[in-house]
Amino acid sequence: MLEDKNPQKTKLEQLGEFGLIKHLTKDFALQQKSTIKGIGDDAAVLDFKDNKAVVSTDLLIEGVHFDLSYMPLKHLGYKAVMVNLSDIYAMNATATQITVSIAVSNRFPLEAIEEFYSGVALAAEIYKVDLVGGDTTTSTKGMLISITAIGEAKDEELAYRNGAKPNDLLVVTGDLGAAYCGLQVLEREKEVFKVNPNSQPDLSEYTYVVERQLKPEARRDIKELLKSLEVQPTSMIDISDGLSSEILHLCEESQVGCNLYEDKIPLDPTVIAACEEFNIDSTLVALSGGEDYELLFTIDQKDFLKIKGNPNLTVIGHMTDKNEGAHLVARNNSKIPITAQGWNSFS
Amino acid sequence: MLEDKNPQKTKLEQLGEFGLIKHLTKDFALQQKSTIKGIGDDAAVLDFKDNKAVVSTDLLIEGVHFDLSYMPLKHLGYKAVMVNLSDIYAMNATATQITVSIAVSNRFPLEAIEEFYSGVALAAEIYKVDLVGGDTTTSTKGMLISITAIGEAKDEELAYRNGAKPNDLLVVTGDLGAAYCGLQVLEREKEVFKVNPNSQPDLSEYTYVVERQLKPEARRDIKELLKSLEVQPTSMIDISDGLSSEILHLCEESQVGCNLYEDKIPLDPTVIAACEEFNIDSTLVALSGGEDYELLFTIDQKDFLKIKGNPNLTVIGHMTDKNEGAHLVARNNSKIPITAQGWNSFS
C-alpha cells in the first residue's frame, strides 16, 4: 500500500521541502490564545503570561516504535501526538502546542504523508493543540517522527514525579494492558496474512484492545476532573512503559516505597479474555505491557473520599517508607518485589 | 572508527534507555533562570514571566544532513545545537533551553554517543542554554538527531520574516559561502582517502572554511549588538539554505521586492581562493551554498548611520516594491532575477 507503484501518486520532489511544509500545514487552524506565531518563521512565538510552560519530546522510528504493516498512517499521526500529549498531561498541565517533524524515504508518496498529517490534524483538533512548527526531510530508510509538545499550568497545579509521600494513595486512570493485547492480536493477524494473504480477519471481538493499540487517547480530562474534585495530586507520571516501570520511577524520584495490590489493578473484561486466549498472565500484561497512556498519580489520604467511586479513577495501592521497597501484594497475600520490566529499546 | 570492533567499548544495552539518558545528561548544569525543571520528569517546566517564548525544531539524518566519515561526533553534537539556536537568534530572541533526541543503530558504542553529547554540552555551556529534555532510542539504520530549541524575547524585540518594508536596507552578518567551500575540501579529501588511505591531508590553508563547515557558530551576539546600537530589525531570518533562498523568503513573507548588490556580498579571502581552486563562482556559492548560519535582516534607512562601519554587519542591498521583484545587481550593473536555489532535500 505504501510502495509508490501507482503512477498517479505525487512524488515529494515535485513539491520540494518548503512547498511540502506549506501544503501539509495549510489547513491547521490556530486555537490557542498563547500561540502568537505558528508555522512560517524561524521559530514559533508563544505567550504563557503568568503560567509555567512545560515541554516534552519524543522520537519514533519505523521498525522500532511502529510497524506500518498494521498501523495505518492516519492512526500513526494521531498516536504520535497522543504519546507526547500524555507526557504533558502527566505534569497535570494543559497541552497547548506541538511541533511535528518527519523524515521519510522516497518510497512514500505525498498521499502517504498527507494521511499521516490528517491524523495529526485530527488529534490537534480534538485535543485543542496548535501545530506551530516542524521539519520535513528525507530519510535513508523508513519513516521517523519527532514530536515536541508544549503545555502550560499554574505553578501550584504542576505534579512532578518527586512529590509522593509515605501513606499517599496510588491511583490509576482507566484500565491497563489493553494496548499490549491489541498488539498481540495484530501480530497474530500479520502472521496469518503472511501465510494466507486472502484471509479476511474478523477482529470485531477485539475492537477495544486493537483500538487501544492503534488509536489511544491521552487523558486530557484528568486535570480538569481532579480540579473539579478539588484534589491536587502529590506526584504524577504517565504509563507508557507499563505500570511496574512507572511505579519504580515514582518511588525512586520521591524516595518512597510502595504496596501495589494485584486485585485492585483495573482490567477490561476483553483484556482478561484476550489474556486467556493468548495464555498470558493479565497481571503481567498490566505491569509490563506498556503503551496504555493512562496516568498514574498519588494523592494525600485525606482526599480519598473525594475520588472514591469515580469510574475514571482506581486506587491500586499506597506509598510506604523507602526502606520497605516496592512490592506487588498478590491475590494470595504474598509480597513480590516489583522489578523494572519497562520497555528497554536497546535489548 | 564507529564500528564496534573494540571489545572494550560499552554496548548500549548494558545501560538501557533510562540509564543511558541519566548517564549522558548527568553533567549538564542548568544555567537559565527560566528553567524550573529540566530532565527527569514527563516534561520540562519553564517560566518566561513577561517575555514571549519562541520554539524551533530540526531533524537531522545521517547520510542526508551529515556524513560521519568526515564529521567527528563531537562536532556533530555542537553543530546540531548551532543549527537550532540560529533559528532562535533569527527571531532576535535569546536562546534559553534545548531538547536533544537521538536514535542510533547498534553499530554505535556508548563512547560514540558520549562524544556526540560532549559536543552538545560544549555548545550548551558556551551559548548558555539548558538541556531540558530528550529521548534516546535505537534506529534501524544510522544516526538521527532531533533538536528543539526554546528562547525568549520581549514582544517589541521580536523580528519576524514579514516586517520588511520597501526602501529598508538589507543587512547580513559575517561572511558567506565558507561552509560550502569547507564541504568541498572535505569531500575531496574523502575521495583522496578512498584511493590512498595512508595519505595525510594538509588542510592548514583551509582552516577557516573547514571550521565553518564542521564547527559553525550561531550569531548569539547580534541581538545584543543591535540593542546596543539601538537598532530594531524590521525583519530577520537565518541563512541556512543560502542567501538567495532566504531573500526570497523575506520578500514573499513581507510582500516586497529586493535589489541585492553582487559587489557588496561579504566573502572571506579564503573563500575567494577556494572558489578559484575549485573553479566555482564565489557569488553562486554565497547565494546557494548554505549552512552559513549568519543572520539576514532588514532595517529602516534612518538607522544606516548606526550600523555603518560595524565589522559584523554589511549592507548588501535594499528592499523595493513587490512588483519590482527580487534581483541580483551584478558587477556589470545587469539585473538578474534571484531564483530559489536553496537546499531542496527531496531533489
CATH number for position A147 = 3.30.1330.10
Q: Number of structural domains, chain A?
A: 2
Q: Last residue of a domain, which of B88, B123, B153?
A: B153
Domain match, A62 and A35 both: yes
Lowest mean pLDDT among A50-54, A110-114, B337-341: B337-341
Q: How far is CA B201 from CA A82, A134, B1, B189, B208, in A?
A: 50, 39, 18, 7, 15
Domain match, A178 and A325 both: yes
Is A345 inside a domain boundary? no
- As for the ipTM of the complex, it is 0.86
Is B160 inside a domain boundary? no
CB contact under 8 Å between A137 and B61, yes or no, is yes
Mean pLDDT across A196-208 = 82
Predicted confidence (pLDDT) at residue A7 exceeds the cutoff of 70: no
Q: In this predicted model, which residue has the larger pLDDT, B233 or B15? A: B233
Residue A238 labelled as part of a binding site: yes
pLDDT digits (tens, 9 = 90+) for A216-263: 999 999 999 999 999 999 999 999 989 999 999 999 999 999 999 999
Domain match, B180 and B242 both: yes
Domain match, B321 and B207 both: yes
pLDDT computed for residue A259 by the predictor: 97
Asked if B203 is an interface residue toward chain A (Cβ–Cβ < 8 A), one would say no
Q: Give the structural domain span for B103.
A: 12-153
Domain match, B224 and B132 both: no
Is A317 inside a domain boundary? yes
CB contact under 8 Å between B160 and A237, yes or no, is no
Is A18 inside a domain boundary? yes
Domain match, B130 and B187 both: no
Q: Last residue of a domain, which of A90, A122, A155?
A: A155
CATH number for position B318 = 3.90.650.10
Predicted confidence (pLDDT) at residue A186 exceeds the cutoff of 60: yes
Domain match, B302 and B197 both: yes
Q: Last residue of a domain, which of A155, A182, A199?
A: A155
Asked if A144 is an interface residue toward chain B (Cβ–Cβ < 8 A), one would say yes
Is B288 inside a domain boundary? yes
Which of B36, B55, B101 is the mutation pick for testing A, counting most A CBs within 10 A?
B55
Domain match, A102 and A200 both: no
Is B216 inside a domain boundary? yes
Is A62 inside a domain boundary? yes
Q: What is the mean pLDDT of chain B?
A: 90
Domain match, A319 and A202 both: yes
Predicted confidence (pLDDT) at residue B171 exceeds the cutoff of 70: yes
Domain match, A142 and A194 both: no
If contacts are CB pairs under 8 Å, which of residues 50-79 in chain B contact chain A? 50, 52-59, 61-65
Domain match, A328 and A217 both: yes
Is B188 inside a domain boundary? yes
Domain match, B230 and B107 both: no
pLDDT computed for residue A345 by the predictor: 38
Whole-number Å distance between alpha carbons of B250 and B255: 8
